[in-house]
Structure 1
C-alpha cells in the first residue's frame, strides 16, 4: 500500500477519479437486499462473496458499527395556480434548533434550510400551499420564503392541524430524495428500499447506503458468530453529493452533520478496541473517528464549553502534538460527558478523511462504490492507500454495480 505524504489541504481531487460508465450505475436495487455482491480486499488481495455470507469474513467476538439514521421524505412539491411546480428540498434545520430531533418534532411551524427548484417562479412574499388527506383529516401545508443563504434558502413551513409534528407532515407530504445520479422518478418501492431495516432516528436526506444490504437473516448469522452490533447516528446531509469544485481540498468546505452517540456505545467501543471493529458505511466511520477527535479536545481542554465541542474538517491535521491512544481519548470523552450529566453526545462534525489521515479505531470498512472525485472516494483512498485504484478497476472489469443501489466492498486496513 503506497503512502501519501502530501498534506490533505494540498490534494487535488482530480487525482482521485476514474471512468464510470452510465450503465455501471445501479438504477434499482436487487430484489433481495443481501444478494448484492461483496468485493473483499485484504492484505492487498481481492476476492468475491455476497452480503449474505459477510459473517464468514469477520472474526468472531468482534464489533460492527451501524448508522441508524432514517431518511426523511425531504422533497416537497408545490403547484402554483398557474400550474408551475416549485420543489422545496429540505436540507437541515438552522442553528436555532439544538439538534435534529428537536427540529423534527416541532409542531405547527418550523424554519428550515432548503434548496429550491424553480425558485424564479416563486416571488418573495408569495405563500405556497399544498393540501392533502391523511387518516381522514385534511392537512394544509404552507411555505413562506424568508431569505437567501449562500447556497440555499431559509423557508418557513407551517401547517394545520398544528398538533402534527414536522416529521409527520414530511411523511405525508414529501417524497424520498433519491440521489441525483439515479436518473428516474421515485417509485413506491423506494420508500422501503432506500432505507435500512434498522433505520430509527429521522433526519437524513440520503441513506447510509452500505447498510441497505443487511437483513434479519444476515443479523442472525452475525449473532451466531458472536459478532456484536452497536448503533450511532449521523444524519446524512445533501453535502454528501456535493462535488469538489476547487482545485485543492483546501478550498472545499466540508458540510457539517449532526451526530448522536450514547455513553453505552462509547463504552462498547472501548471494550473492542483491542479486538476487531468493523464500521458499516463511511458515515459510521466518520462518526466514530469524530469521537476520537472530540475526546482529544477534552484531554487538552477539560473545561471546554459543550457548545464548542465540535469537529472541524482540519482538526486531525493541525499538528499540535502526538496523537494519543484511542483508549485515552474515548475515556476522556466519557469522563467529560459524565461531568456534564450526558448519556448521549449530540454535536456536529465536519471531519474530512483524506489520504494522510491516521485511523484510530476501525480495522475494516463496509461501503459501496463511490463517485469519481468525491470526498467519499478520498476516504476510501485514505483507508486502503493507492490500492483503491486496483479495487475499483477490478469492480468495473467484473461487472459490479456502482453507487447507492449497487454492490459493495469489505475493506481491511493493511
Structure 2
C-alpha cells in the first residue's frame, strides 16, 4: 500500500475553522455495510441508529493548554512550544519551533513567566524541564493556550477552552481533542440513555504526533508515534456483558478503536494500561467495535487508514467523495460519519 492510496481532493473552504453553536447539530453521514445507500443525517439523530443494550465507548482524556511562547535567553529569538506529554518532575516532551533548534543546556524565557530548560532531544521532540514556581500542570491551566490543530487558521478564542474539550473529559494529558466526542452534549447523552444505550470509557492521551504527516511512500515503512492508554476492568466487563447479551459496541472516535485494539488479545478485550504504537491499516481485522462514529480525517493520514481498515477503503473514499459534494465540514470542528464494520 502507498499513502497515495488514501488521497482525496478537499476544497480548503470545507475545513471547519470554528465549532457550530450546538454540538449535536453537526451533520452525520451514515455509511452502512456493503452497497447500501449513504444517508445524510445529523449527530442528534444517533439514538435512532442504536438499539437498547448497545454500548457507546468514549475517550475521556482531557486536553491540556499545551501551547506556550517565549524567547531564547541570550539571542532573544522567538520560540513556540507545543507540549506533547507531561513527564514527572515538572518536565515535558515537546515540539519546539524556532529559527534555530535550541541545544541542550539552553534556556527559554517564557512569556507567561518562568523558564524552560532544554535538557535533551529525541527525534523531533525536545525534553524540557520547567521552572515556573509550582506544579507544571496547574501552571499550564492559566499560562498555556489551547493547542488548536495547525489547519485551523486563527488564534484560539475564549470559546475554544470549552468547545475543544468533550463534556465528559476527565483525565488530563492530551494535546489534541478526541474529536468525535466533541459532538456530544447533555441533551444527546440523555436521549441515548432514554434509548437504553449504555456508556463506557477508555483513556488515550492524544499526542502532537497525531498531526505529523506520513513521510514515507510505502505505508509498511511508517512508524507510529506512541500514546498512553488505559483500558480499565470496568470497561472490559461492560464490553463482555454487551456482547453476551447480543448488543453492539460503538466506538466514539479512532482513539477508542486504537485503545481497545491495543488491549485485545486473540479477539478478547483485556484490561491494559501503558503505551501503544499500534498502526491499523487495511488488512488488519478490527474486532473490538461494531460501529464507529468518527470525524472526517486528513488525506493520506494514519487515521484515514484506520477508518478504511474498519469499513473498507473503497467504501470510505466513496463516502468522502459524497461528503465533499454535499459540502460537509471537515476535520476537528467538522461533521461526523457513522460506519458499520467491514465484514
For the aligned pair, the TM-score class normalised by the smaller chain equals over 0.9
Alignment of 1:14-93 (within 5 A): 14-43=4-33, 44=35, 45-79=37-71, 84-93=77-86
Contact 2:72 2:107 in 1 (8 A): no
1:126 Cα deviation (Å)? 3.8
- After superposition, give the CA deviation of every residue in 1:167-211 in whole Å (9 maximum; x if it has no partner): 111111111111111111111111111110111101111100001
Query: Of residues 315, 337, 343 in structure 2, which corresponds to 1:409?
Result: 337
Mapped to 2, the partners of 1:259 and 1:270 lie a distance apart of 19
1:377 Cα deviation (Å)? 0.7
2:315 corresponds in structure 1 to 387
Contact 2:58 2:199 in 1 (8 A): yes
1:131 Cα deviation (Å)? 6.6
Contact 2:72 2:106 in 1 (8 A): no
Alignment of 1:183-332 (within 5 A): 183-273=153-243, 274-292=246-264, 296=265, 324=266, 326=267, 329-330=268-269
TM-score by length of 1: 0.78
1:241 Cα deviation (Å)? 1.1
TM-score by length of 2: 0.93
Contact 1:86 1:122 in 2 (8 A): no
Contact 1:52 1:218 in 2 (8 A): yes
1:71 Cα deviation (Å)? 0.6
Mapped to 1, the partners of 2:277 and 2:176 lie a distance apart of 17
SS of residue paired to 1:31: coil
Alignment pair present for 1:114 and 2:94 = yes
What stretches of structure 1 move > 2 A for 4+ residues in a row?
Answer: 79-85, 121-132
Contact 2:70 2:111 in 1 (8 A): no
Runs of 5+ consecutive residues of structure 2 not aligned to the other structure: none
Mapped to 1, the partners of 2:111 and 2:336 lie a distance apart of 41
Alignment of 1:343-354 (within 5 A): 345-354=272-281
Runs of 5+ consecutive residues of structure 1 not aligned to the other structure: 1-10, 94-102, 133-139, 297-323, 335-344
Query: Of residues 114, 128, 131 in structure 2, which corresponds to 1:141?
Result: 114
1:178 corresponds in structure 2 to 148
SS of residue paired to 1:146: strand
Mapped to 2, the partners of 1:131 and 1:21 lie a distance apart of 36
Mapped to 2, the partners of 1:126 and 1:289 lie a distance apart of 41
